[in-house]
Homo-oligomer: A and B are copies of this chain.
Amino acid sequence: MAAKHPAPAKSQASIPDAPQYTSAGDLVPPVDYRRWIYLTSGLDMSYSAQSSGMSRFDNVFASPAAYSQFVATGHWPDKTILVLEVRGAASKGSINKNGHFQTTNLMGMEVHVRDSSRFPASQYPGGWAFFDVVSRSKATLIPQTAECYRCHQAHGAVDTTFVQFYPTLLPIATQMGTLSATYQADASGNNP
């Protein structure tokens, strides 16, 4: 993807915590995302009828400025970063005997970035791109042909993001009328 996404000029950040890229065109993973705004967690969520067979939590965080703008407008601003952190789930440990808790096993991380100057809407709906965090200093762009793009575009409640699973944001989007038509069609009679 390097040819399509050469090293950018200086950051055109419209909000703090805007995405930063390496000269090779990779995203620099946000180091401080655990101090960002927590949106939700899921356990073993799956969009196919078949379970993944692994037990893991997904934790989602938004950059504080992006979160504040969502609360104010019901939409994600340009330069939004959402981080999906995948952690191991355990059941027996310390005094816990039932259910699931999160472990120190950080199993993976993905980043969803809205950056319309870098990812033109003609190719990346809404200017959003997904990145896979491969190291502390590098997250590689997931090709636009990947299933995640199609599914987020088809089912995301707001701006191709899964606000239907973010319990503090869904009421805001509902009130502000920013829910996508595709989500509303999904949700009729099947509202999470």
Q: Which A residues are closer than 8 A to B by beta carbons? A: 34-35, 37-38, 40-52, 57, 59, 61, 64, 67, 87, 89-90, 93-106, 151, 155, 157, 162, 164-165, 167-168, 170-171, 183, 186-187, 190-192
- Are B41 and A41 touching (Cβ within 8 A)? yes
A167 to chain B, nearest CB (A): 5
Q: Nearest residue in B to A191 (C-beta to C-beta)?
A: B93
- Are A94 and B35 touching (Cβ within 8 A)? no
Candidates B51, B59, B183, B186; contact of A41 at CB < 8 Å:
B59
A41 to chain B, nearest CB (A): 4
Q: A44-B100, A46-B96, A94-B165 are in contact. List 17 more A-B contacts (CB 8 A).
A: A34-B37, A40-B101, A41-B59, A42-B102, A43-B100, A45-B101, A46-B99, A47-B97, A48-B97, A90-B192, A93-B192, A94-B157, A94-B187, A94-B192, A103-B167, A104-B170, A106-B167
B residues near A34, Cβ cutoff 8 Å: 37-38, 168
Q: Nearest residue in B to A41 (C-beta to C-beta)?
A: B41
Q: What CA separation (Å) do A170 and B21 show in the bound complex?
A: 31
Q: What CA separation (Å) do A71 and B111 show in the bound complex?
A: 25
Candidates B50, B64, B96; contact of A45 at CB < 8 Å:
B96
Q: What CA separation (Å) do A22 and B89 show in the bound complex?
A: 39
B residues near A48, Cβ cutoff 8 Å: 97-98
Q: What CA separation (Å) do A52 and B29 show in the bound complex?
A: 39
Q: What CA separation (Å) do A34 and B95 show in the bound complex?
A: 27
Q: What CA separation (Å) do A37 and B38 show in the bound complex?
A: 8
B residues near A105, Cβ cutoff 8 Å: 167
